[in-house]
Amino acid sequence: MDRTVNERLTQARHELKLSQVKFSKGIHLKSSGYYSDIEIGRHEVNDRIIELASSVYGINKHWLKTGEGKMFDRQIDQKFEEMAILFQELNPDFQNYVLTQIKNLIKLQNQKK
């Protein structure tokens, strides 16, 4: 039995070991309830969601649409994924602070080489 796009999206989320809330935040959905409705088939997976799932989580667009090929285009670095989700929860001032600190750490790291 062929899976639907909605079912493949759910399968990929499970593979990433993300909750519906974290996954939906990662693809910039304001409501995790809306995403939940996608998984149970109340809403269709639109092109925007496919694009975001692909760019944020590395889910293969062709696989998502057709079920053919590999589930992921690339290996997902779990630390990076967690960082991106947490970063989105920060207000803009704190986001700027975090970016400055990362840049400073890279400079420090490069000086020690």
Q: Average pLDDT, stretch 6-21? A: 94
105 and 54 in a common domain: no
CATH number at residue 44: 1.10.260.40
51 and 22 in a common domain: yes
Share of the chain above pLDDT 70, in %: 94
67 and 29 in a common domain: yes
State how far the Cα of 44 lies from the Cα of 4, in Å rounded to an integer. 10
Residue-level pLDDT at 31: 83
The DSSP result for 92-113, as a single string, is: HHHHHHHHHHHHHHHHHHHHT-
* Residue 55 pLDDT greater than 70, yes or no: yes
CA atoms within 13 A on the CB side of 75: 2
Domain count across the chain: 2
* Residue 101 pLDDT greater than 80, yes or no: yes
50 and 92 in a common domain: no
* Residue 1 pLDDT greater than 70, yes or no: no
**Selected residue with higher pLDDT from 63 and 56:** 63
86 and 41 in a common domain: no
Which residue range is the domain that position 30 belongs to?
Answer: 1-76
Q: Average pLDDT, stretch 12-25? A: 92
84 and 63 in a common domain: no
56 and 2 in a common domain: yes
44 and 91 in a common domain: no
64 and 25 in a common domain: yes
71 and 21 in a common domain: yes
71 and 88 in a common domain: no
91 and 66 in a common domain: no
State how far the Cα of 20 lies from the Cα of 29, in Å rounded to an integer. 11
Q: What is the mean pLDDT of the chain?
A: 89
